[in-house]
Amino acid sequence: MKRYCGRTATAIIRYPQDEILLIKRDTVPFKGFWALPGGRLDEGETTEQACIREVKEETGLDVEIIYNLGDYHEHGFMDSVFYDYYPACFVVKAVGGQIIKQDSEVQEAKLFKLNELPSPLAFEHDTMIKDYKKRIDPNYQA
């Protein structure tokens, strides 16, 4: 059995039209699922540095961190893989580049309206997005 564990960084890229950028994964676990851009930290990297690097690698966008939404725990068993990740989720804004699928781990990158997201999302990304919606709209009810 394969095992993927460790600290990761994930990004919610803020767009003014109430849209969010999701990527469709091309690797296990969760191959074919939509997810937020992000990935594991390289040795010596902070979560902030990993977030910026991973977004660039997966989407082609240069981003700037606005704030840390929080820390999460993703774990389970899927596609013959046990996963146990501890992602930091950052809200970021694009400051350069354009959306171009850059990474061999990504099938597709696409903007979705916040109220029209595909389901199910990979890992705890649904929870992260709900927390983001609560933060930008105090009247939001999950």
How many percent of the chain have pLDDT more than 70?
Answer: 99
Indicate the pTM of the whole model: 0.91
Active site residue 48: no
Q: What is the pLDDT of residue 45?
A: 97
Write the secondary structure of the chain as one string of H (helix), E (strand) and C (coil): CEEEEEEEEEEEEECCCCEEEEEEECCCCCCCCEECCEEECCCCCCHHHHHHHHHHHHHCEEEEEEEEEEECCEEEEECCEEEEEEEEEEEEEEEEECCCCCCCCEEEEEEEECCCCCCCECCCHHHHHHHHHHHHCCCCCC
Mean pLDDT of the chain: 91
Please state which CATH class domain 2-136 belongs to. Answer: alpha beta
Of 2-6, 92-96, 98-102, the range with the highest mean pLDDT is: 92-96
Give the confidence band of 77 by pLDDT, cuts at 50, 70, 90. confident
Q: What is the pLDDT of residue 70?
A: 97
142/140: higher pLDDT: 140
Q: What is the pLDDT of residue 105?
A: 85
Give the confidence band of 66 by pLDDT, cuts at 50, 70, 90. very high
Q: What is the pLDDT of residue 35?
A: 94
Give the confidence band of 29 by pLDDT, cuts at 50, 70, 90. confident
2/38: higher pLDDT: 38
Looking at 43, 105, 108, 116, which residue is catalytic? 108
